[in-house]
Amino acid sequence: PQSAWPTLGFALQQAAILGGGNIWVSAGTYAEGGLVVPPDVRIYAGFDGDCDLTTFDPNVHEAVVMGSGPSPVMTLNQSTDDTAVLVGLHINGGGTAEACVEVNQRACQLLRVSGSDGVRGFKLRSNLIVEKVGIQLVDCTLSGCQVGGISIDGAFDLFANHCAFTNNLQEGITADDLLALGSKVSTLSISNCLFEGNGSEGLDVDLVAYPSLSTGGWQILLTNNEFIRNRLDGCLIDCDYETSPGWIAQIEIQGCVARANGSAGFHLDLDAQSSALLHRCRSSNNGTDGFLVTSETAPGMATASACAFLGNQAMGVRSSLGNVGVVLSHCVLSGNAQGGFASTSNRGSVASSVAFLQTDAWQNVETTHVHDQATFDPELFLSAPSGWAQTIGMFGEQIRLEGGITLNPGDTVEFEGDGVSRNVIGQVGNVLDLSPRPEAMRFPGQLALWPGPNVDTDWTPGPLSPLYEAGLGPLGGPFPHAGPAGAIVNGAPGS
């Protein structure tokens, strides 16, 4: 409209003079960097040229802010009296901007904001020592950034929902460090988010305590997220406060999927006092362990319940170093190359769980009410893989198998736990041709072999399954089923 400001920067200047207000941004490309959002200013992008509220849609009317030079494209500086709001902006760092959005000690809400091609996507900083900063991210996308999608340093309460962190050169999200203040609990709540194709970890969180006479802690809740094809661990949480006794982290990961990552699917480095629960998760086809627990000093326990650990290149579950034991309940382990569950430094325990098509299922662990079956039994579950085949490389667009494995035309396979049914076209020597052919694959890896045309897993025991009422229950019963379907709070792992 005729009343529109000529540039976004000029609109921000006028808003500062007027004491704040709402800025509506119409579709277009704004070649402006070094923008500073004043207090009490809220930016809404996604309008047509007439700024008609009835046609507001950031996905249709894209407003792209192009940065240039090393300064952050947009900065939210400290303001204790308001919560900054950004909606619908597509921010490009031009390959040189320190951040697409830099947040300095300011509460903010970012909705449908994307950041790409910056040194960092969102740079969140706070050196406040008496209060945390609240950050809310909804439907945001961070991709193609040089250092990482989101970089966190300070005391925050961070909430992210339906966001994507993809193809960044380092982490999808890195918190180095997520600080907890004395008498405060910092929180990290991430749900329904995608961490895919990042150059190191998908999510990397270091928990550090601020020096204080009182104690504090952290609450970490990860729900229904996917960690896929990241170069290192899919999800890494490091309790790095072992010299601060009395501080504690509560970690809960539920309904998450970690697959085809270069190192571990889920890695908890529990060096200090903590409680950790992995529930209803699926970790498959990762380069090392499905679930890795390491520690140094503090004793404790990590629990995995109603989870599936499948086709990982090392162990399904491993506890190593330190004094933290791992307990499995109602889990399923299959096709892990080096074994099912190993506790290398202290005794672990497993109950009401199932190992099938799994060599060396239990290593230095106590077992009760478990089922261990090395061969395929179609009655064991309603739908599950019938075997595993090791892959060692590509031959053009075809897959090379480890020697001695022969498949027949028409056989059904699944690779990297991607849920795609692929048919065997033929095999010459150890070279396998599939339809559809995979576009990319991490090697070495595991192919899941399926007895029928579908690759939909259902861990419900079959009608004649030995898993019926085979789990651990009270004296005299009733006894639950062994495996994920028998858990009190059950559900398909990874859903």
Residues 360-404: tens digit of each pLDDT: 999 999 999 999 999 999 999 999 999 999 999 988 889 999 978
Amino acid symbol at 477: G
Q: Is the pLDDT of residue 405 over 70?
A: yes
Residue pair 461/481 in contact by the 8 Å Cβ criterion: yes
pTM over 0.85, yes/no: yes
Mean of pLDDT values over 208-228: 94
Q: Which residues have a Cβ under 8 Å from the Cβ of 78 and sit 6 or more positions away?
A: 104, 105, 106
Q: Counting Cβ atoms within 10 Å, is residue 404 exposed (0-12), middle (13-18) or buried (19+)?
A: exposed
Q: Is the pLDDT of residue 81 over 80?
A: no
Q: What is the mean pLDDT of the chain?
A: 95
CATH number listed for the domain at residues 385-450 = 2.40.10
Q: Is the pLDDT of residue 155 over 70?
A: yes
User: What pLDDT is recorded for position 245?
Assistant: 86
Q: Which tens digit of pLDDT belongs to each residue from 323-339? A: 899 999 999 999 999 99
- If pLDDT is split at 50, 70 and 90, which confidence band does 465 have? very high
- If pLDDT is split at 50, 70 and 90, which confidence band does 442 have? confident
Q: Is the pLDDT of residue 189 over 70?
A: yes
How much of the chain exceeds pLDDT 90, in percent? 85
- Say how far apart CA 243 and CA 454 lie, in whole Å: 52
Q: Is the pLDDT of residue 10 over 90?
A: yes
What are the boundaries of each domain within the chain?
A: 385-450
Q: Which tens digit of pLDDT belongs to each residue from 50-62? A: 888 999 999 999 9
Q: Is the pLDDT of residue 188 over 80?
A: yes
- If pLDDT is split at 50, 70 and 90, which confidence band does 128 have? confident
User: What pLDDT is recorded for position 438?
Assistant: 86
Q: Which tens digit of pLDDT belongs to each residue from 272-308? A: 999 999 999 999 999 999 999 999 888 889 999 999 9
- If pLDDT is split at 50, 70 and 90, which confidence band does 66 have? very high
User: What pLDDT is recorded for position 67?
Assistant: 94
Residue pair 96/69 in contact by the 8 Å Cβ criterion: yes
User: What pLDDT is recorded for position 237?
Assistant: 98
User: What pLDDT is recorded for position 1?
Assistant: 65
The 3-class SS string of the chain reads CCCCCCCHHHHHHHHHHCCCEEEEEECEEECCCCEEECCCEEEEEEECCCCCHHHCCCCCCCEEEECCCCCCCEEECCCCCCCEEEECEEEECCCCCCCCEEEECCCEEEECCEEECCCEEEEEECCCCCCCEEEEEECCEEECCCCEEEEEEECEEEEEECCEEECCCCEEEEEEEEEECCCCEEEEEEECCEEECCCCCCEEEEEEECCCCCCCEEEEEEECCEEECCCCCCEEEEECCCCCCCCEEEEEEECCEEECCCCCCEEEECCCCEEEEEECCEEECCCCCCEEEECCCCCEEEEEECCEEECCCCEEEEEECCCEEEEEECCEEECCCCEEEEECCCCEEEECCEEECCCCCEECEEEECCEEECCCCCCCEEECCCEEEEEEEEECCEEEECCCCCCCCCCEEEECCCCCCEEEEEEECCEEEEECCCCCCCCCEEEEEECCCCCCCEEEECCCCCCCCCCCCCCCCCCCCCCHHHCCCCCCCCC
User: What pLDDT is recorded for position 2?
Assistant: 63
Angle among Cα 330, 336, 341 to the nearest 5 degrees reads: 50
Q: Is the pLDDT of residue 197 over 70?
A: yes
Mean of pLDDT values over 347-351: 93
